[in-house]
Structure 1
Amino acid sequence: MKSEADILLDVRNLSMRYPLRRRTPFGPRQHVHAVNDVSLRLRRGETLGIVGESGSGKTTLARCILRLLEPTSGRIALQGQDITHLRGRALREARRHMQFVFQDPYASLDPRLRALELVREPLDALGGFSRSEADAIALRLLERVGLSAAQARQFPHQFSGGQRQRIGIARALVLNPQLVVADEPVSALDVSVRAQILNLMADLRREFGLSYLIISHDLAIIEHVCDQVAIVYLGRIVEHGPVEQIFRDPRHPYTRTLLAAIPSPDPSRRRRAVEIAGDLPNPAAPPPGCPFHPRCPHAQDACRQSVPPLDLLPGEGGSGAGERRVACFFAQSLGPAPGLV
């Protein structure tokens, strides 16, 4: 059993709402509910995947955790320290321990800087290193991610997409962080390059003792690299737990629809279709009750009246990596998940 000291990231009741312009001068102000009452924990050395449709709030959640956005409410603790309201120097110091790998390796690198300068930039920003020390650290990281000393003098346009993402990973690791948040780290890359980057991230995780928070819509990637997974719908976590358990037996209807959409590599076997109606609701006017009920084939009156809590599944244990939580009133009575036929 792991102790509280093993918890690296602890997010409690985090919400993010964006105000919209009033339709009339004295009318009520609406808000976009991008993140709604999200709570999660990440242990040291673990990888947590955040999965959901486009517009479900995955990236907003990641940016709030890194304090790139100011959350409306809730609490964020990193290594036991509350970072929710840090400002100035204190926030800069906290950012040594948490770094970001961006989705687009083409847009995230300054085209005017060479690879060595790009990786060295965080060291220059936070200070404490001479130019020669910073260069040595940056060069060592570039070589560790598979780039040569000669390539360290090149500009971003001289690299392929996979090489640019390697630069982004090296830049994220140069401050020796504890937490790395990766937002769709391979979605902009060719299929042939994705496995290389994912394997590199796995190797670096073991070597540096990293914890990853990976945002992705690709369930195959989440299954391959993550220990835990949180399924997000309309800004809320609707299912959370070990990857193996959730992929084997999803308990929330939304999770089932996502898993049923994964194509089978064997053409002689196909997945049973799971019906889902409509599109993602308007986050500025979320439906009452369970946010998924307008599209859920199992919705009942209780679903339309109140929001189901993210509760521990009975019989799943009460602690450690085996924790599994589902926000569905009827998670236990849905029967086996549709599988391959």
Structure 2
Amino acid sequence: MSTNDHTVPQFYLRRFARKNRGKAHQIVAAPAENLDASFPTSVRNVAAVNGFHWGIDPEGVPHHTMEEVMTSIEKAAAPAFSEVLDTAWALPERWPPTLDTRVRLSWWVAAQILRTTRQRHRLDHLADQAAESGLPEALDPALGPLHKFAQNNRHLAFITEHLAPLAAIVGSKPWGIGFSDACLPTSDVPVVVMNGQDQDNQLLSVAYWDVLVPLDPHRFLIMPTPGSQPDPGTLADHRVKFHPGLGLALGDMLWGAADQHVFWHPDHVPYIIEMGPGSRGPRLPRPWAGDTHEPPQSIMQYGVMPPGMTVERRWLEEHPPRRASTPA
């Protein structure tokens, strides 16, 4: 088994990539702190960390159990993605999804909330704060080269404890399948918990706040808190279409939550990428990196599409001409 563990599944990143003849799927990546420094690369080369899912058992032997768990979740989710996205229309004719598809995607979304490098930094930061308060540190530096994998155990134990209950919470929320006129990016944090990304109680955070999941450059899942939207249609599963302004807001949130890198399709450059640095709002603070500013807060209200309406599939590739800027 490879030690180069992907923190974001390759099958998911391929939906934001272009398949070039005779070459691997190409995606564009950029440091979240400097979107102007973008570069084309393969999906194999991004969101991957050596030994990220390795743990260490009580006898000091490294193991790959968590990587096997993640692989099984990804294999189950791939056909669910196809059922929702690979249809005759841009938004699926069948919605709500089947129970089987909902379960598979719920586990995948929960895994992507828990397995990120941002989540690990958050947990390590909490552990460092506890150590500074005089609480005992459970890791043994005498483990030498294996000390890195012992540190991983804290994160892997957190995933193990929270994965099933978080999947149940995700599955119980209303699911909106959406189309954005504006192109969307994704990142090494592909699931955004609006206003609650780094809260200590991740289960309560996901249950209370809206959840955003970009699915490809124009489609997304949005899971609102029941009753948080004025349109009563959002109390149940629904379809939604976001105009460019709301799509830009989604891109801003996705960029703001990224840990290290943002990714996008070479043919679908998001507005948030083209905007100058001074035009973008603040990103979510990362206390482990020394950030001290307050996190940005988002309020997003939308209405559902009428029953029976959807979006033509051609709009996944065709972009209306952009309006020319009006001279001042």
TM-score band, normalised by the shorter chain?
Answer: under 0.3
TM-score by length of 2: 0.25
TM-score by length of 1: 0.24
